Amino acid sequence: MVDLASGGVYFSGLGNGTDFSKVIDQLKSIEQIPQKRLTLWKADWQRRQDAFGELRTEIASLKDIVDSMSTMNKFLVKTGSSSAETVASATTDSSVLEGNYKIEVGQLASSSIWTYNTAFADKKTKVNDSGSDQQFVYTYMGKTRSITVPSGTTIDALKNMINNDPQNPGVKAMLVQNGTGYTFQFRGMDLGANATLSVDSGTTVTGLPGTAAAWTVQASQNAKYRVNGWPAATWLESTSNTLTGAVEGMTLTLKDVGTTQISVATDTEKIKENVKSFVDAMNAVRSKIKELTAVNSSKEVDNPDDAASLYSMQKGSILTGNYGVQLLSTQLKMATADRAAGFEYQYKDGNLLRGDEFSSLAHIGILTNAETNSLNAGLLELDEAKLDEVLKNNPTAVAELFAADGLPESDSSDFSYYSHVKGVTKAGIYDVTYDVDASGNIVNAFIGGKRANIDNANKQITAMEGDARGLALQVDNLSQGSYSSRMRIKEGKLSGLGDQLEDMLGSDGALKILEDNYQDIMDDIQKKIDKEVDRVTQWERRERLRYSRLEATLARYDALGKSVESQIKSLSSSTSS
């Protein structure tokens, strides 16, 4: 007999004593072999995708490090310390010259403040109790405003009316508690002598008259200062207490009248820390690539018939021989080994020394370990003694090697850099040739081997095509003749590397493309697995039905056999009697 429940077939245990359920289970395990192989195959592709995820994480960390120091201001750290912080303090960028700067502050920039001389006992004190509207009139920086003050308006309400006025030209009213009451204060929000404020005589508010004698007035004024004793007899002036142009590359914050000395020095320890962070982050990526592509010749491999994974049958690692990883590895090696874009090796040109003191990482003590049997083979190694030496002698050149971003340098005194278009003009070394005719006009100009646009009104030539496109040069020597030299646009290691890493991590980058391809492969394998599951399910149903019919047949024959046996016994018994 068989029982059918929810589409399943269950055996009664009758028949010839054979457990057909176990027979089918064993046959099923054979039928499932293709499905199991597909599952293992998919798992291998998942390992590859996971490995690229690990590599992506390390590359993203490297990009974060690169971005954190990719400009001269971030990499070349200079600090400015003040001998009298209460007088003035300073922040600096990479362009400021090292040295000491004497800063004298004659007066601070201030805003105009009008303070009413009579205190109010309470915020709710009425300033207009006349029974009709009155006016509060003031002028700020040449703009006059008249506020209508209705009868019953309190001093607090008037304050709010002024502050919430949609056409407020830039003033602020406030109530200052003085211990016995409240003082009304009215101020302009801008600093400097031009930020004038006045409460006008047209003011008719009873409790807040516009007569100047009723107010204490602080006039607006400019800051006055000197830099290194200049000017000797007068003062430099500013409408702000924050000075961005007094010293190139320095922002001064004036705090009080007096004299201070700002000392500017390069923080070589911070630069060294930046270099080491870069080396460590780059090595983390290279180490991950080594780990994922390593070949272990002494590894014991599984027999293909017993192996649970492709990788247990080979001496290589998950991504050994993977073209995508090889491409990424090559790009990263070239990024560190090659000369920086727009830089060139130093050479002598007659009595002149041209080129860059440092044009590759090797010049500052960063080399790749080339010892095949070394644990650190392929990794960057930093010679700290060499780095300390170059930082001591020329920290700016070290910073340029890493973080220059479109830094121009002309090899000629006949022309100079004017501008270039960031993102369009590529870093590189460009030949420049042009002629000047007898009238002082520029003719036949070429930049980077391409004909350049000539602007004789401004005496400029501009590259219109090629890698130099957008590069504009100022012609300084207008004497008749032919001129040729070079202009370099320098890009440090970090700028170019940052672009490469962004491409690697981007939606069109190698990592994303490979991860997507692997996902497509796994999705396709999963479809095959699903088909195999359906096939085995249908097979099992057919087999169980077939064996159930067999068991029923055997049960009938078993019953028939027992009946025949019983009849034979009956016949034998009858014959004997």
Please write the tens of the pLDDT for every residue from 147-186. Answer: 999 999 999 999 999 999 999 999 999 999 988 899 999 9
Q: Which residues lie closer than 8 Å to 128 by C-beta, 6 or more apart? A: 134, 149, 150, 151, 152, 153, 205, 206, 207
Q: Whole-angstrom Cα distance, residue 552 to residue 529?
A: 34
Token output for 485: 């030299």
- In a shared domain, residues 357 and 283: yes
Which of helix, strand or coil describes residue 118? coil
Q: ∠453-458-459 over CA atoms, to 5°?
A: 65
Q: How many Å from the N-terminal Cα to the C-terminal Cα in the chain?
A: 39
DSSP string spanning 13-30?
S-SSS--HHHHHHHHHHH
Give the phi and the psi of residue 157 in degrees, each rounded to 5.
-65, -40
- In a shared domain, residues 153 and 206: yes
Q: Whole-angstrom Cα distance, residue 59 to residue 125?
A: 67
Environment class of 56 (CB within 10 Å of its CB; exposed 0-12, middle 13-18, buried 19+):
middle
By C-alpha distance, which of 111, 109, 84, 87 is closest to 237? 109
Displacement of CA 59 from its chain's centroid (Å): 13
- In a shared domain, residues 303 and 231: no
Residue 290 domain flag: yes
- Alpha-helix residue ranges (DSSP H) falling in 120-222: 155-163
Residue 512 domain flag: no
Of 470, 505, 540, which closes a domain? 505
- In a shared domain, residues 343 and 452: no
pTM for this structure? 0.74
- In a shared domain, residues 235 and 93: yes
- In a shared domain, residues 429 and 550: no
- In a shared domain, residues 93 and 237: yes
Q: Which residues lie closer than 8 Å to 13 by C-beta, 6 or more apart? A: 19
Strand pairing category for 405-410 and 481-491: antiparallel
Residues recorded for the chain: 577
- In a shared domain, residues 435 and 463: yes
Displacement of CA 93 from its chain's centroid (Å): 20
By C-alpha distance, which of 183, 175, 217 is closest to 198? 217
- In a shared domain, residues 411 and 397: no
- Residue 34: cis peptide before it, omega within 30 degrees of 0: no
- In a shared domain, residues 206 and 254: no
Strand partners, 50: none
Contact status, residue 366 vs residue 379, Cβ threshold 8 Å: no
- In a shared domain, residues 351 and 261: no
Contact status, residue 411 vs residue 486, Cβ threshold 8 Å: yes
- The model's pLDDT over 346-368, given as tens digits with 9 standing for 90+, comes to 888 777 788 899 999 999 999 99
Contact status, residue 204 vs residue 134, Cβ threshold 8 Å: yes
- In a shared domain, residues 399 and 419: no
Task: Please give the chain's pLDDT, 577 residues, in tens.
Answer: 344 333 444 444 445 566 778 888 888 888 888 888 888 888 888 888 888 889 999 999 999 999 999 999 999 999 999 999 999 999 999 999 999 999 999 999 999 999 999 999 999 999 999 999 999 999 999 999 999 999 999 999 999 999 999 999 999 999 999 888 999 999 999 999 999 999 999 999 999 999 989 999 999 999 999 999 999 999 999 999 999 989 999 999 999 999 999 999 999 999 999 999 999 999 999 999 998 888 776 667 666 666 566 666 566 678 888 888 888 888 888 888 888 999 998 888 777 788 899 999 999 999 999 888 888 888 999 999 999 999 999 999 999 999 999 999 988 899 999 999 998 999 999 999 999 999 999 999 999 999 999 999 999 999 999 999 999 999 999 999 999 999 999 999 998 898 889 888 888 887 888 888 889 999 999 999 999 999 999 998 888 888 888 878 887 887 888 888 888 888 877 766 5
Looking at the structure of the chain, the number of domains it has is: 5
Which residue segment(s) compose the domain that 378 sits in? 40-68+267-404+500-505
Residue 515 domain flag: no
Q: How far, in Å, are 247, 500, 566 from residue 242 at the CA level?
A: 12, 39, 119
Residue 518 domain flag: no
Give the phi and the psi of residue 169 in degrees, each rounded to 5.
-80, 0
**Across 255-318, where does the E strand assignment appear?**
258-266
Rg (CA), the chain: 43
- The model's pLDDT over 406-434, given as tens digits with 9 standing for 90+, comes to 999 988 899 999 999 998 999 999 999 99
Q: How far, in Å, are 164, 171, 225, 241, 400 from residue 191 at the CA level?
A: 21, 12, 15, 8, 39
Displacement of CA 511 from its chain's centroid (Å): 18
Contact status, residue 176 vs residue 183, Cβ threshold 8 Å: yes
Q: How far, in Å, are 17, 555, 559, 565 from residue 562 at the CA level?
A: 15, 10, 5, 5
Residue 262 domain flag: yes
Residue 471 domain flag: yes
By C-alpha distance, which of 524, 165, 489, 134 is closest to 340? 489
User: Of all residues in the chain, what percent are helix, strand and coil, respectively (each to 5)?
Assistant: 35, 30, 35
Please report where in the chains the tokens 């999963």 appear, as a residue: 526
Residue 511 domain flag: no
Of 266, 300, 331, which closes a domain? 266
Residue 20 domain flag: yes
Q: ∠300-303-308 over CA atoms, to 5°?
A: 95
